[in-house]
Every structure is written in structure tokens, then in C-alpha cells.
Structure 1
Amino acid sequence: MAVEFRDYYELLGIGREATQAEVKKAFRRMARKYHPDVAEDKSSAEAKFKEINEAYEVLGDSEKRRKYDALGANWNQQGGAAPPPGGGGNYWAGPGGQEVEFEFGGTGFSDFFEQYFSGGNRRSTGYGSFSGQAGSRRGQDIEGDLMVTLEEAFSGSTRTISMRKIDPRTGAESSEEIQVRIPAGIGEGQRLRVPGHGAAGSGGGEDGDLYLRVRMAAHPDFRVKGHDLYRDLALAPWEAVLGCQISITLPGGKSVQLKIPAGTGSEDQLRMKGYGSPRKNNPGDLYVEISIETPQEVSPDERGHWEKLREISTFNPREN
């Protein structure tokens, strides 16, 4: 099945020579612009946000980026990009052993990503296990990737997934819509099982299952490590010296207050217990990593105060 090429560099608004740091910066800029929580047109913004995440999933990973760049001349082949050498198409064995082509919709990933960068079950050449009934075989399980936003992982949601099956010999098609429940607290790499939506069984054997592997969408402000969240927080010098309270909005919209102790230093890490992944029995934590930013320009009045502080301060960081 030919698929439409996705220009990930164009989606992020960067050139092919961009460094990994520039890729990350471009993603954060675009993700903040199109994040559904802040955009006026939430439906179109959500679609754009997922496209940006897909681009960052590939270009933000050095190995995937090299693979993407290596596609080279295959990008603009007539009819779309060709499957990679050695197969890689989306097939499973249907009744009688013939291969059936399939494609997903609503997972957050394009067919192009599924074809080249998914780690799911890409091709099968037979049935699953034997069933109890003589001559019957259970249908094979199939796998796909499911992009889950941090907000969905915090609050839980239900996603409608479409799956289209095509017999490559006859062109016959069938399609179905599947409701997939995303439980709150789910994490990267976990699999959601949808019973009975895999390949068809044979001779009265039961159908296989569909497994959707969770791929956490990158977030412009939070990073996910296991069940913990990490967030960078920039402070003004006086906030770090005197201490303050900062309001942090968690994924899902809840705001919490973080107390910044007086004397907080750059690269300090503050832990907020229980504000990571909202698992029932063992929720993760939120780690706030501090940096101190200095103003690039000051007014004459502000400069006078800084000069006065320099005169009266006994602090010398080079003596510590």
C-alpha cells in the first residue's frame, strides 16, 4: 500500500540542517501554539498538535531521524512512498491464509509513520494458535501505536479508532469503528487490549485481538520519566533569593501551588509528591528543576537599585 509522504521538517518549520537542540526548540514553540488547551479552534488545533508530535517523535530521536533522512529518493515516488526493503506493509493473514491489508484512523499517527516507524506487528504469514475445535485456528493478534496526550493520561478518556481492511487481490474493503478506553494513569509503552478486533479466525476459531501500544505525546512544558513528571521553571533572581509561591498548572487543568524556599539555587530540584501520574495505588511525583534568569535590559531606576545592592551585599559566590 502506497502511503503519502510526511515532510516532518516542514511541519516543524525548520531546515534539514537543524541541530537536535533546534528541533526541540521548534517543537516546543509549535506545540504551545497549537496545544488544544490554549487554541481557540480546539478540533483543528488537536489535529495539528498530533502532526507536530509525530514529527518530533521522528526528528527528535537521532536514530529515527537518520532512518527518515535515508529514505532519500523514495520520498517522491509516484503514488507515494514505497515500503522499506524487506516488507514492512500492514498485513495479517485472513481466512484461507490470504493476506489482508489494514490501516488505522484516529490513533494520532499517520499511515506514513505506521509504515516506517511503528514497532507493531507489521506482517503475518499464518494464523494464530489452534483452537479446541478440530481444524480451527484462532486469528492472529495485530498491533498498532496509539498517541496519548499527557492530558488524556491524567484524566482518562475514550478514543474512537477506525480500522479499514482491504483484500489486496480483490480490492474488497470493510471498516469498523472501535471505542477504546484510555484509563487515567496509563504510561509509555503500555498496551491496551481490544478483544476480538484482530485477524479473523478460521474454521470456527475465535478472532484475534487488537493491541494498541501507548506512545506518550511530547508536551511543551512537561517531560515524562516512568510515572514521574519533570518541569523546568525559571525564576527571577529576587524570587530565588527571597522565596515565593508559584502556581503550576498540571496536565488536565488542575493548578497547584509550589513554595520556592528562600535561597533556592539554579539547578536545584524541588519534589512535589503525588503530582505525577495519577495512579490509584502509587501516584508518581512532579520534579521541578530550577533555573535563574537575569534580565537582559534594565531601566535607569532598576540599574540604580542593582548598583546599590552590589555596594551593600557581602555575598561573593567565588568564595563559596
Structure 2
Amino acid sequence: MAVDFKDYYQSLGVSEDASAADIKKAFRKLARKYHPDVAKDKSTAEAKFKEINEAYEVLSDPEKRQKYDTLGADWDNPNAGQGFSQGAAGGFQAGGEDFSFSGTGFSDFFEQYFSSGSRYGGSAYESYSAPRGGGARRGHDIEGDILVTLEESMQGAVRSISMQTANRQTGKTETTTFQVRIPLGVKDGQRIRVPGHGSSGTGGAPDGDLYLRVRHAAHPEFTSNQSDLYHELDIAPWEAVLGSKHEVPSLDGPIKIRIPEGAENGQQMRIRQRGLPIGKSGERGDLYIVLNITTPDEITTEQRKLWEQLRDSDASTNSN
């Protein structure tokens, strides 16, 4: 099953020597534009959102980015990417079958080279052959990735997945489509079991299972840690010193908060029960506002005088 190369730098609109900060900035700008909840043209936005998420998934991770750069223009050379954990061309191999998916949010190129899950489950490293004496053998389990938005985790969802299976012995290819339920409050790294969608069993034994490892889609406003969410809020130095009021986003809508006087850089403000659901318990994680004290890129002559007055005042106070 052939795969198409993905130019992740082009997807984010950055150069190959872009810094980590530039990559994050480019992603956040595009994510705000194409996020399915805010985009005007939702039909094209969803595909674009998945594309930039996949690109950011690779380029924001130093190890994955290094591997991607190693592939380079020679990516389709049979010897390219040696040392990668590769599966079938375009998906996975288990037993005597090749697998590829659509509907998971990741391309075949990503699944082949950058999937976070193991390629095989059970004893899938064994060569494919019928058991001696005609005995039965359960099919191998397989594992892939599925991109889940924070909004889907917040509400739960149902995803339609198509799987193409090619039998290397017979040459036959079969495509099946099935529904996968995204559990309420599903966490990053959690696995969703889809029974009976692994490789085929032999001798009348059952088929293996498919395990989809959840990857939370990168969000322009939040990062997740288990059921907690984190939002970075930039504040000016005088806001940190004097205190201030701000409106911050949450998955439920905007929230008004007060920054206390004397706030410090990196300080976290906790808003209880505004994170992701914790299963069906009715409880939720928390939302943490992380304060980033920023300085202006440019200042006017008048502003400079005010900063100098503040400096001189502070020096005078400390000398007494």
C-alpha cells in the first residue's frame, strides 16, 4: 500500500530551519483559523486542522523532527529511514496481512514512520503460517493512533473508521467501515479497544483486536495533562505588580479572573472543575492558568522615561 510524502514544514508555512518558537507560533495561528468549532467552512477546515495537527505533532517533538529531517527528499528510498519503527507500507503488518486506516485523523505516512503505538500486539512478530496439525490460532492484535480533539473528549463522540486489509498470500484486499466510540473524558495516551478488527484468526479461531491509542489534538489555547487543562496567559509587568482582571478561555466559554498583586512569572492559577470530564463520574479535572510576564518589543520615548523613573525610584528605595 503506497504512501504519499507529507511536507510538514509546508503545512505549517515555516522554513526547515524554523525555531521551536516559530513552529509553535505558526501552529497556533493556523489552529485558530481552522479549528472546526470556529471555522466558517467546516468541510475544508476539518481536513486542514488534522493536517496542521499532524505536522505539529512531528515538528514540535525534537526526536520526531530529527527523524523527519533524516528522511528528507530520499524518504521513499528502500533504505531511507533505517532505524525507524516501521510497519507495512501505509499502515501495519500482522500475520500475513497489511493494514491501513482512514478516519483516525493521521495519514498513512505518519502511521508508517511516526506512530506512537507499537506496531504489533501479541505474537505478531511470528511469521504467518497455518498451525501444525490444522490447529486454531487467534489473530494478532494491532495498534494505531487516533487524533481526538479536546472538544470530543469533553463531550464524547462516535468516529467512523475505514480499514483496508490486504492479504499477502492471496493478494485480495478488503475494506471494512465501522464505528468507534470516543469515551467521555478520554485521556491522551489512553487506548480504545475495538474487538475483532485485528488480523484474521486461523482454523476457526477469533480475529485479533484493534487498539487505537488516543492522541489529543494540539489546541491553540490549551494543553492537557490527564484530565487537567493548561492555558498560558501573557501579562504585562505592571499587571503582575499591581494585579489586573482578565478574561480567559475555557471549553465551557470565557471566564473572568483576577490576577493578584505581586504575581510571579510561571505562577499557576487553578480554576476547579473546568478541565476534562473524569469518566462518567460527573467530576472534572481543573483548568490551570499559567502566567507569562512579557515585556514589550518596542517602547516609546515617553514609556522609556517612565521605566527609567521606576528604575531610579527602586534604586533609591533599596539604597536607604
User: Same fold per TM (> 0.5)?
Assistant: yes
Aligned-partner Cα distance in 1 for 2:298–2:228? 37
1:287 corresponds to 2:288 = yes
The one-letter code of the counterpart of 1:291 is: N
Aligned-partner Cα distance in 2 for 1:265–1:246? 16
**TM-superposed deviation, 1:127:** 7.3
Segments of 5+ residues of structure 1 without an aligned counterpart are 94-98
**TM-superposed deviation, 1:294:** 5.0
**TM-superposed deviation, 1:166:** 1.5
The one-letter code of the counterpart of 2:74 is: N
Secondary structure of the residue that 1:233 maps to in structure 2?
strand
Q: Tell me the residue number matched to 2:254.
A: 255
Question: Which of 63, 73, 94 lines up with 1:92 in the alignment?
Answer: 94
Aligned-partner Cα distance in 1 for 2:86–2:267? 49
TM-score (norm 1): 0.82
- 1:145-165, Cα deviation, whole Å (9 max, x unpaired): 001111111221111111111
Q: Tell me the residue number matched to 1:190.
A: 190
Aligned-partner Cα distance in 1 for 2:60–2:293? 26
**TM-superposed deviation, 1:7:** 0.8
1:108 corresponds to 2:109 = no
Q: Tell me the residue number matched to 1:269.
A: 268
Q: Tell me the residue number matched to 1:135.
A: 135
Aligned-partner Cα distance in 1 for 2:307–2:167? 79
C-alpha distance 144-54 of structure 1, shift in aligned 2 (>3 A): same
The question of whether the paired residues in 2 share the 8 Å contact of 1:138 and 1:205 is answered with yes
C-alpha distance 63-238 of structure 1, shift in aligned 2 (>3 A): closer
The question of whether the paired residues in 2 share the 8 Å contact of 1:222 and 1:231 is answered with yes
Secondary structure of the residue that 2:75 maps to in structure 1?
helix
- 1:234-276, Cα deviation, whole Å (9 max, x unpaired): 234564455444332223x433332323443443221112222
C-alpha distance 298-10 of structure 1, shift in aligned 2 (>3 A): closer
Secondary structure of the residue that 1:63 maps to in structure 2?
helix
Aligned-partner Cα distance in 2 for 1:170–1:8? 36
The question of whether the paired residues in 1 share the 8 Å contact of 2:240 and 2:261 is answered with yes
TM-score (norm 2): 0.82
- 1:118-150, Cα deviation, whole Å (9 max, x unpaired): 14343533579x9xxx92222111111001111
The one-letter code of the counterpart of 1:257 is: K
Q: Tell me the residue number matched to 1:226.
A: 226
C-alpha distance 295-25 of structure 1, shift in aligned 2 (>3 A): closer
**TM-superposed deviation, 1:105:** 0.3
**TM-superposed deviation, 1:318:** 8.2
Aligned-partner Cα distance in 2 for 1:21–1:308? 28
**TM-superposed deviation, 1:200:** 1.8
Secondary structure of the residue that 1:37 maps to in structure 2?
coil
**TM-superposed deviation, 1:15:** 1.4
The one-letter code of the counterpart of 2:224 is: V
Aligned-partner Cα distance in 2 for 1:29–1:169? 48
- 1:35-88, Cα deviation, whole Å (9 max, x unpaired): 1222111121111111111111111111111111111353355xx997857863
Secondary structure of the residue that 1:58 maps to in structure 2?
helix
C-alpha distance 289-121 of structure 1, shift in aligned 2 (>3 A): closer
C-alpha distance 164-318 of structure 1, shift in aligned 2 (>3 A): farther
Secondary structure of the residue that 2:39 maps to in structure 1?
coil
C-alpha distance 319-191 of structure 1, shift in aligned 2 (>3 A): farther
C-alpha distance 12-307 of structure 1, shift in aligned 2 (>3 A): closer
Percent of aligned pairs with the same amino acid: 51
Q: Tell me the residue number matched to 1:120.
A: 117
Aligned-partner Cα distance in 1 for 2:173–2:229? 43
The question of whether the paired residues in 1 share the 8 Å contact of 2:71 and 2:81 is answered with no
Aligned-partner Cα distance in 1 for 2:246–2:185? 25
Aligned-partner Cα distance in 1 for 2:236–2:164? 54
CA RMSD between the two structures: 3.4
**TM-superposed deviation, 1:180:** 0.9
Segments of 5+ residues of structure 2 without an aligned counterpart are none
1:33 corresponds to 2:33 = yes
